[in-house]
Every structure is written in C-alpha cells, then in structure tokens.
Amino acid sequence: MLWGGRFKGKLDDSALKFSSSLGFDINLIDEDITVSRVHAEMLFKVGLITEDEYKKIDAGLIQIQTEYREGLWKPEASKHEDIHSAIEYRLSELIGEATGKLHTGRSRNDQVATGMRLWIKNVLNTVTEELIILQQILLKVSEKHIETLIPGYTHLQRAQPVSLSHHFLAYVEMVERDKKRIEFVGNEADQSPLGSGALAGSTLPLDSFFTSDKFGFSSPCRNSLDAVSDRDFILDSLNCCSIGMMHLSRLAEELILWSTEEWKFIKLSDEFTTGSSLMPQKKNPDLAELIRGKTGRVFANQFALLTSLKALPLSYNRDMQEDKEPVFDSFDTYINSIKIASQMIATMSINKSRFEKELENGFILATDLADWLVLKGIPFREAHNIVGRLVTYCEEKNITFKDVGINDLKLIHEIFTEDALNCFDIKSSLKRKLTFGSPNPELVEKQINKWIEKLG
C-alpha cells in the first residue's frame, strides 16, 4: 500500500478486491514507469535525492519494465490496489530503501493524471495511423470506380445517381473529421499535471517545467486543482471514439446491405464473413454486424464516464478511477473496428455494372429533366410539377423514362424538344454535373488526386 501509517488495521480483502483497479490500469504500466523515471530524474536535478539514489531508482524501474514485458513479473490484484502501488512494491524488493524517496513531492493524483495524458497521446497517434490506412484503402477502391454507377439515396429511397467513388469519398471526408477531432484532443491533453501533488502543489523545489519538457508536453498545467481533477480530455477522447464508431457503423451497414441477394453489389471475402450453423448456403457479414453492434458499447462508455463525473466537487475523488476501464475498452474497440473495416473493403469484390441497366429503367433522372426545363426558362416549381406529371403518365402507361419519346414529352408540355431525351442517358448523367463537390468524374478524379497527395 502507498498509504496506511495512520491506520491500525489493514484493508479488508473484499474491500481491496472491490477497490482494486489493477485489472485494467495495468495498461498504464509503460506510462507509469516513464512518469516515475522522469520524476526521479527531476528529484536528482533539484537536489532532493542523490545521484546514487537516482541511478538505483532508474535502473530498478527499467528492470521492472523488462520483467513485465518478458513475463517474469506479474502483479497480483489480491496484493495491490493499482499498477502504481504494484510497481513501487516491486521496486522496493529490487533496490530497498531508496524506493521510499521516489514518491517525494508526488501524489498518485498527479501521477495518474500524467500517465493518462501520456497514454491518450500515444493511443491517439495509433488511431490516426489506422484512420489514414482506411482512407488510403477507400481511395484505392475509388480510383477504380470513378464511373461505377450506384443509386444515391435519401430516406432510403432512390434519389439521383452517383458513383461508388463519390460515395466512398464521403467516408474519406468523415474520417478526416475524425482525425481533426483526434488532433484537438491531443492538443487538449498536451499539458503535464506532474508537480500538482494531491491538489495544491508542493513546498518542495520541484521543477514542473523540466518534467513537462521531458514528457514532450507543451507546458505544465496552470492550476493544480484542475490538473488532478480534469478528465475533459478523456471525455473528448471518448467522444472521438463514439463519433468515429458511428461513422464505421454507417459504413458497415452499407456493406451489409450491398452484400445481400437483393443488392448483389459486393461480395465480402471469406476471411471476413461467417457461415450458419444450420443453413449451409449462408454467408453472413458478421464482422460488419459486430462493428455496428460494438458501436453501442462505445457510446455507453462515454455516457458512463459523463455520469461518474457529473456531480464531483473539486478536486480528486475516487470516482475518477472509473475513467480508465471505459477509455481502454473504447479505444481497443475503435482501433480493432477500423482495422476490420479497412480489410473488409480491401478484400471485397464489386459488381461494377450492377446498376447501369436497372437505373435506366426508372425515374432516377427526373431532377435532370427538371433542370433542363429550368434552363429553358421554366420556373423550378413549375418544372418540378411538369416532371411529376410525366412520372405519373409513365406509371399509368407502365413505361419508364427509357421508353419515353418526344411525342410523350409533348403531351406533357410543348416546350420539350428532342434534346430533352438526352437527360435520360444514364451513362452521361454524372458528366452533366457542374457543381463543385458533385460526382462529375473529372471532379471526383481531382478530389482523389488531392487526397492521395495529402495522405501519401
């Protein structure tokens, strides 16, 4: 225990088990050792420990890290409250009395807060790397499908044709926003709490700027109370996970739809699908469904921590121990989901000509015809009404736009001429788009090239 001098009895075994966080904060072992090594170096620098004591402490911490990585030491939850007390106990076994000086001028409050900030900054880098890989895979598929037509939807009803490239570029944009949120959290976590003590700093001559610089933070925290009680950077990191998982869930839902017999647009590879225990013919998109399902768990983690923090007075309260489990779980889930989504897209096959004929035999180009009327001087509301009457006419005659001739158009309105029939050419529909950000193949290709240049 890191405390206990004023207690006559030891903590009840069931209380220790209930309060122990070792099972999950062991994830912080590298960060905790880093914090302790830098703290020891600072104590030596300011003259609070001798050079010999510093060297013993530093060598002992390195040995503990090596022992853990090589499986030679495993702390037990039945003996230790958390990873911090476990490391200190093992250090005392290795170097003896000098261990007692490591905690000089330090509380677990600022120690844990510093370790969490280091962990968050590290994991954010990992997430960003995986998101870039996902973007690159989306772009690689997009390069091959600039003119692959698919129906665009609103209200899950066919609306206007787009290309698969344009569709995937929408996810590239989403992921880019995910990266920007991550960058924000990285900046938010970029201050060092070490030196804040339990809540009110220290009367010892600690050098917070030295430790902050050693950790790679931009500066020490400006307020010791806020430093040990701030968990906003964790909440914001969970928000990154939640929004990122929401984006992956939307993508997963579309992969699920596209792989159905009804769509027949893509085939997911065997490596990322499963079968049925009863029905031999089944090929189920289970991995995509799991991404969709795990999204709810990540949402819940964010709300759980919000609830834990909502009524806490300054500064530190033990409730804050509940910040770690949800953040570790959320990032583990998010990173694995990104990897699975990337691999599903990279290995799927696409039925490139799936929708060309089908889209020709419908009314998906109705807006194009309305725009043609606008260019002839018809007010849009009237043009909308005219095309609507044409759709009704076709439905009554059981025909589609492909079957419509100039005589049919003249029955609806005399302004129509032969060139209006060009609006029904599905293959040229995307090329007629003029606006920036539209699925015009030339514009899409430019966007792809800009993204490739940006992402490398």
Residues forming the active site: 155, 276
Taking a C-beta distance cutoff of 8 angstroms, is the pair 251, 135 a contact?
no
H helices of 78-223, where? Answer: 83-95, 108-144, 164-188, 208-215
Task: Compute the half-sphere exposure of residue 109: CA atoms within 13 Å on the CB side of its CA.
Answer: 22
Q: What's the burial of 55, exposed, middle or buried (CB within 10 Å: 0-12/13-18/19+)?
A: middle
Provide the token pair at 57.
Answer: 């402490």
Quote the Cα angle for 204-111-126, to 5°.
140
Cis status of the peptide bond prior to 237, with omega within 30 of 0: no
Q: Give the CA distances from residue 111 to residues 87, 192, 256, 314, 400, in Å, rounded to whole numbers and listed in that order.
A: 13, 10, 45, 17, 70
Backbone angle region of 416, left / alpha / beta, with phi > 0 → left and psi within -120 to 50 → alpha: beta
Taking a C-beta distance cutoff of 8 angstroms, is the pair 139, 418 a contact?
no
Burial profile 265-277: b = 16 or more Cβ within 10 angstroms, e = fewer: bbebeeebbeeee
Q: What is the DSSP string of 168-182?
A: HHHHHHHHHHHHHHH
Distance CA 248, CA 335 (A): 11
Residue 329, SS3? helix
Taking a C-beta distance cutoff of 8 angstroms, is the pair 255, 266 a contact?
yes
Provide the token pair at 45.
Answer: 């620098």
Residues found in the chain: 456
